[in-house]
Chain A
Amino acid sequence: MALERVKTGIEGLDSMLKGGIPKRHHVLFAGGPGTGKTTMAMEFLYHGAQAGETCAFISLEEKPDRIIENISSTFTGWKDLKKLIKDEKLIIVKAEKWNFENLVDMIQSLVDHRGVKRLVVDSSTLLKLYFNSKLEFRRKLFELMDFLANIDCTMVLTAELPTSDRSLMRHGVEQFVADGIIVLYNLEKAEKRVRAIEVLKMRGTDHAREIAPIKFSPDGIEVFEGEKVY
């Protein structure tokens, strides 16, 4: 049986993923500060909402108003963003800090009762602070992923990496639990910074192995698959 996929709608990325993220997978968008994790996660939802799916963004830190403001100013071409929010095709909510139970309640409620098919939790770095130990975080994350695997929803978790330097990256617990990892970089090239993307892991499917440059345009992120970064 052919693997069902969820198109990210991000130009070039779906091609790197050989058609999109496998349905019901839990994927990590990881990267250093300012690499565009939240923005890319929002674009994943935006395209889903445009295609008629109900999508939800759960923020553990930023207020929904602030998120909408940032996205509107980054992607000025998204003229229908506010309408999608008003029509509740794109739901943006803030979960209570330090309350894992509330976060899971929210996820369950959004999926079961609002019919959410694409979900983003921003960010797992903050989620980690809910727990006293790495072991407890890992156990809860496994339970959450296991629970989500049984429902018809594809989930993206964002994760902050302490550095954009590929050689210095350390992988956290969530990277081992996730079905897929997409890493965003802000690399140094001839005294300039170049944004780039890499599909590090994607269970159950082949994917591009090269790092590709990316560009933020008013209509969204463009991935230049096959072009050289260095």
Chain B
Amino acid sequence: MAGKKRLISAEIVICYRRASKRMFGDFQAERLSVAVGEGAGRDLAMESDVKKIAQDIVAELNNCGFGTVRAEKPTTVVAHYDTLSNFVVKDSAEAVSSEKSDKPLCQIIRGFIRGAYTQVYHQENISVKETKCSAMGEKECVFEAYWVPM
């Protein structure tokens, strides 16, 4: 599936985000970004499976122009759950297109990863945090995906 077609285009969704921020404010713009990312992530996961979802996420984000993406070994492991990958994004299109910020900005990518994982596992108790963001002066953006223990 991944690499065959572009589910979303970084350039277009970033334009939408800027417009929505202007029209509706920060919080609504953030939620719109997460929603766009999550929808696309879920679409990707419909044609993927738990074994190859991490590599499909990487391929799709690279393919859609969100930056140079790689998956990394997770730092958070929850007993009885499959491990979820972390993702590192160099030159994140979301961060590059924004001014310096004091908080992580890459909500589309964050939503995309969460959407893909929640869909492929059919579970809602998955959290994705952007722990480093280049808009905050970091070298790369880092996304940690993990299970919220029930």
A87 at the interface (CB under 8 A from B): no
Complex CA gap A146/B119 in Å reads 26
Asked whether, in the complex, the Cβ of A101 is within 8 Å of the Cβ of B129, the reply is yes
Asked whether, in the complex, the Cβ of A108 is within 8 Å of the Cβ of B124, the reply is no
**Number of contacting residues on A, CB 8 A?**
23
Chain B contact surface mostly: helix
Complex CA gap A112/B39 in Å reads 9
Task: List, in ascending order, chain B residues with CB within 8 A of A113's CB.
Answer: 38-39, 42, 115, 118-119
What is B's interface to A at a CB cutoff of 8 Å? 27-28, 31, 34-35, 38-39, 42, 111, 114-115, 118-119, 124-125, 127-129, 148-150
Besides A94-B125, A105-B114, A113-B38, 6 other A-B contacts (C-beta < 8 A): A94-B149, A94-B150, A101-B129, A105-B111, A109-B124, A112-B38
A–B complex contacts, Cβ < 8 Å, 30 sampled: A63-B150, A93-B124, A94-B125, A94-B150, A96-B148, A99-B127, A99-B129, A101-B129, A102-B127, A102-B129, A104-B31, A105-B111, A105-B114, A105-B127, A106-B124, A108-B31, A108-B35, A109-B38, A109-B114, A109-B115, A109-B118, A110-B124, A113-B38, A113-B115, A113-B118, A113-B119, A114-B124, A143-B27, A143-B28, A147-B28
